[in-house]
Structure 1
Amino acid sequence: MSNVYCAVYQEELCGYMAGYAAVKLGYKNLGFLGGMAVPAVVRYGYGFVQGVDAAAADLGLTDVSLNYVYGGQFFGDADITAVMDTWYAGGTEVVFACGGGIYTSAVDAAKKANAKVIGVDVDQAGVIAGYAGVEGMTVTSAMKGLYPTTYDTLTDVIVNGNWDAYKGKIATLGLVSGDDPELNYVQIPMGEGTQWSDSFTQDDYKAMVKDMFDGKITVSNDVSKAPSDFATVIAVEDQGAIKG
């Protein structure tokens, strides 16, 4: 372990961004479909709940609801798709599918319902469009900066010869800029991967990131809590796990 460098992420921050954006973009009935309830997935989910709640509070909404469940695995199947079918049939407009290939179940159900999804880890708009055969299904994605992490670290280690600054360490990566969101290690897509509108513009997003960077917005990463613990004005229905 003394010769290993590990980078982990503040997933709760980009989860918050995605949830905040979704409500600002007009969605009131949302869902979170996690893979397995490992800390990273839980942080994504709890950040999402906090972002949804904050946007609802900012807009003075009291009719925003959020279904919350873990699939119990990192791939979609007929059982998970059936639950997503039930959600969408019950009025859910967009589901944040967070956990490897589990997005396929959310997408399969959303396609039948002409509904939306939110991607994870990278800008999944293209991946989801390719899988679904439908453009424009992805509202946004909660992204880890996998590319800048790899590029920046390897540049510093190999080109600059700074391996000693990394080896044996675990780094928690998050915001490094309050002015340029694309420099951060957690973000949502600035381009077409987010369905920007007059109700939530790129400038609105930049202002939110600046407030997060400056500490005016704080996001909890306490995975010991329940999803509903983060709700102040929204209704959260915690459905546990589909499997396991």
Structure 2
Amino acid sequence: MPGIPSSTLGALDPTSDRAVFRQIADQLRDAIDRGKFAEGDKLPSETELVDHYGVSRMTVRNSLSVLQGEGLVVSEHGKGVFVRPRPPVRRLASDRFARRHREQGRSAFIVEADAAGSHPSVDSLEIKEERPTHDIAARLGGPRKVLARRRRYLLDGRPVEFATSYLPLDLARGTPIAEPNPGPGGIYARLEELGHRLDHFEEEIRARMPAPGEVKTLHLAAGVPVIHLVRTAFDTEGRAVEVCDTVMAADAYVLSYQLPAT
């Protein structure tokens, strides 16, 4: 069996105070960054790494665990360890809620999925009237009850996002917004048809590690963080008409922005 080329993975430094398994993880990470292992490529097997470095199998497994914890690789039982694909969706923050998309009957998620060449779908839909949390109520101006729309978004069958929209009940009750399929262009198109022309959106974004329920809902691999985004939509009268609380698989998205310089 041919060995691993020295141009791909080097030798260990016996004088380093860095643990051996971390040195191996560093070299594998560097090889991935340099493109020696591309997206979807299989890394050398445990046996190959043991032979190359002259270490125990447990040391190699610890090295691979480091990379899995960083979300760089994924282990497939019986097949090996593979470089995780890069985010397939480019989320264009400056364009995704453009009115022209709604007028064409296309929601933001569909626009982005089409640009990525992926097939979008939605499941796990729940629609119910409920009392909002203190935070959601404050963002919406203090309604006692809201209509909550919970749904999970998938690309080519893979869960990538889970979102809950909260709308003041006086706006949403008895309208298509309360239906499983609100119609072309989504709930923003329906809000505008109801006379609430959208003026602007405010978003708060943070990255964090997922809660256990989010790992299950989004089928997240070990080490993959989430992007937690809370968006508030305002109409031209300055009223907050929707708050959307979204959790996205961080390995599925690139957040892209265009910002004015003046």
TM-score normalised according to structure 1 size: 0.24
More helix by share: 1
Q: State the TM-score, normalizing by the size of structure 2.
A: 0.23
Q: Relative contact order (alpha carbons < 8 A, sep ≥ 6): 1 or 2 greater?
A: 1
| Greater percentage in strand | 2
